[in-house]
Amino acid sequence: MTPTPTPHRPRWRSLALLALLLAPLLWPLQQLAERYYRDELIEQNRQTLDLYVANLLGTLRRFEVLPAILGDLPDLRGALLQPQDAPALAKANQLLSRVREQTGADVIYLMDARGITRAASNHDQADSFIGRDFTFRPYYRAASEGRLGRFFGQGTTSGKRGYYFAAGIRDEQQRLGVLVLKVDLDYTERLWGKTPEQLLVTDANGVIILTSNPDWRFRATRPLSRQELARIAAEQPYPTLNPQPLTLDDSQWLMQSRELEETGWTVNILAPRNQLERPVQTVVAIGGASLLALLLLLGLLLQRRRHYIERIALDARAKRELEIRVLERTRDLETLNNRLKDEVLEREQAQQDLLRTQDDLVQASKLTALGTMSASISHELNQPLAAIRSYADNAGVLLDHQRHDDVRGNLRQISELTARMASIIAHLRAFARRDRHAPESVALQPALDDALALLAKRRRALDVELIRDLPAATLWVQAGETRLRQVLGNVLANALDALSERAPPRRLWLSSETSATGVNLILRDNGPGFSPQALQHAREPFFTTKTSTQGLGLGLAICETLMRALGGELLLANHPDGGALITLQLRHTEPGTNLQPPEEFS
């Protein structure tokens, strides 16, 4: 009897040896997975860093121009010119408090030429800055030299951190003082929240000034030199004169940085490297499982081949079991694959939401600037457009009567008005760029006649009696032709608006006063005059007592700005006999060669 042959056993030792040979393939898989997820984490942190940098710069830029603008306000200049006048100082304190509430600044204060604080928005608080000397701060020195002062530091009085903007206030060549605005950055820091990523901002000294980890605040990221320690002791930007070092293990963090040239700061985002371990381990586990499945499949195939003859009866069952195992492995792989797809889709959706948010912020900024410019241009071009329509309608009537010479005259007037509108637009653009034009000699009476001609039709419609008391000799003033006509047109239009509110008779007086250095043009009407509120706020932009269809509230604000640019002044008052009294104080100059010199703009 032939003995039954013993079935061959699978060579598990050979499979184990093969597994050991294939196991090193998991190392490049781990490297590829780590590189992939590291790039993903870097890209995500870069987007987060861009968002935080945009938020930080947006907060600072919103306040950057305020000190220079506020420094031109008459109430603040009056407090510096009359430091012993208690009502002037009280008015300055109230103005600074009101501006602080409207803008959201932390504190605004006014310092005289000696560096002593004369007015402050916190004048009524226990930690008021009034009477304090901040000349040791670098922003005071920069503003005194005519530059925009910038400085980050912790307040020596309030103990609060903030970023300071400072601008010098001058009256011609005389230095009057410095206006300082402090921005509270605590809210910006709180917005960062508690995340695995750590955000920190370091200044030029390498000291951490803003961070999502309070334990790192005011710690030095590098050794400080003697010069830096001396500057810290002089300027006192931190609560300590010797910031303690902060040592970070580079092997534990993935760092990205962004330099801010405006402030000299460096914004850093630190992501813990352990965020890469979980996805990398998942990929390695999947690779190991796939390799193990491959080895098992190979072992099963070898076993099936070796035992094919002995186990022919069990072939169908072995095949079904093999298919079940393959299906299970396939379902596991599909589940893992779907999970990875979901994670990729979530990341793509988050990136799209971030891009849309950034686009919305840029669009909101554009619409704000466009609204302001449209309001100004609409107000300035309203009068020439009305005159053009009047000349065009009149030209049609003249054509019907075959009065071609008069029609040509109307067309010349329309051409001059369109050129003037272009000049006004160029002036608005130049004014937005803070352009400066050389002074020129301008004849006052022709400019006044031109402004009256633009409003002649409206004056006749209102039946306004014009009473002129001007000298026959030409009065020459230092101005620009277009800017002077803008001012005259605005104040005359406002006078007609006021006269339209009362019953006839309606009168408008024009007179002048001359001195050795100046010429005063006086406009008076017998209208209702200025209310106390109007006298106080008439020069502010968008303040008006008219309806939204009658005016935008920009006329007197533009006139005030143009008069200061011309070296003059706009005075508002009520006449003792009733009605408004407006005085334009202009500088006297030598006669020019042309009664209407053109004013060109770059």
pLDDT in tens, 263-291: 888 888 888 877 777 787 787 788 778 87
Q: What is the pLDDT of residues 491-543, one digit of tens each?
A: 888 888 888 888 888 889 999 888 877 888 999 988 888 888 877 777 776 66
Our CA dihedral for 115, 119, 122, 128, rounded to 10 degrees, sits at 50
Q: How far apart are CA 375 and CA 377, in angstroms?
A: 6
Q: Give Cβ neighbours of residue 35 (< 8 Å, ≥ 6 apart).
A: none
Q: Give Cβ neighbours of residue 49 (< 8 Å, ≥ 6 apart).
A: 256, 258, 267, 269
- pLDDT score for 599: 40
Q: What is the pLDDT of residues 578-596, one digit of tens each?
A: 888 888 888 888 887 544 4
- pLDDT score for 120: 92
- 531 closest CA partner among 554, 501, 511: 501
Contact 490, 532 (CB under 8 A): no
Select 438-587's CATH number: 3.30.750.24, 3.30.565.10, 2.30.30.110, 3.40.50.970.
Answer: 3.30.565.10
Average pLDDT over residues 204-225: 85
Banded model confidence at residue 165, pLDDT cuts 50, 70, 90: very high
Element (H, E) at 267: strand 265-272
In the numeric block, the tokens 């930080």 are attached to: 56
DSSP strand pairing (464-469 vs 506-514): parallel
Is pLDDT above 70 for 547? Answer: no
Average pLDDT over residues 246-255: 80
Structural tokens at position 430: 């130049």
Q: Which amino acid is present at 247?
A: T
- pLDDT score for 12: 65
What Rg do the C-alpha atoms of the chain give, in angstroms? 39
Contact 172, 108 (CB under 8 A): no
- 66-186 and 189-275: same fold? yes
Share of residues in the chain with pLDDT > 90 (%) = 7
Is the torsion defined by CA of 129, 133, 135, 138 positive or negative? negative
Q: Which amino acid is present at 455?
A: L
- At the topology level of CATH, where does 189-275 sit? Beta-Lactamase (3.30.450)
Is the torsion defined by CA of 557, 563, 565, 567 positive or negative? negative
- 243 closest CA partner among 266, 217, 261, 269: 217
Q: Give Cβ neighbours of residue 41 (< 8 Å, ≥ 6 apart).
A: 254, 271, 275, 276
- pLDDT score for 110: 92
Q: Backbone phi, then psi, for 314, in 5-degree steps? A: -100, 10
Q: What is the pLDDT of residues 339-391, one digit of tens each?
A: 888 889 988 888 888 667 644 543 443 344 345 445 546 656 777 788 888 88
Helix (H, G, I), strand (E, B) or coil at 535: helix
In the numeric block, the tokens 């695995």 are attached to: 196
Q: Could you tell me which residue, 553 or 170, shows the higher pLDDT?
A: 170
Q: Could you tell me which residue, 308 or 116, shows the higher pLDDT?
A: 116
- The C-alpha angle 570, 486, 397, rounded to 5 degrees, equals 140
Answering whether pTM is above 0.85, one says no
Select 66-186's CATH number: 3.30.450.20, 1.50.10.20, 3.40.50.2300, 3.30.1950.10.
Answer: 3.30.450.20
In the numeric block, the tokens 């230095």 are attached to: 175
Q: DSSP secondary structure string, 539-579?
A: TSTT--SS-TTT--S-HHHHHHHHHHHTT-EEEEEE-TTSS
Structural tokens at position 573: 């008052």
Banded model confidence at residue 146, pLDDT cuts 50, 70, 90: confident
Strands across the sheet containing 253-260: 208-211, 198-202, 265-272, 253-260
First to last CA, the chain: 119
Banded model confidence at residue 46, pLDDT cuts 50, 70, 90: confident
In the numeric block, the tokens 């043009």 are attached to: 521
Helix 481-499 and helix 315-400, axial crossing angle in degrees, nearest 10: 80
- 107 closest CA partner among 186, 181, 187: 181
3-state DSSP of 119-131:
EECCCCCCCCCCC
- In sequence order, the β-bridge partners of residue 210 are 201
Element (H, E) at 109: strand 107-112
Is pLDDT above 50 for 113? Answer: yes
| Inter-CA distances, 333 with 71, 270, 289, Å | 69, 34, 9
Mean pLDDT, all residues of the chain: 80
User: In the Cβ-directed half-sphere of 33, how many Cα atoms lie within 13 Å?
Assistant: 20
Average pLDDT over residues 25-42: 77
Domain spans, the chain: 66-186, 189-275, 307-435, 438-587
Q: What is the pLDDT of residues 391-434, one digit of tens each?
A: 888 888 888 888 888 888 889 888 888 887 876 665 455 444 44
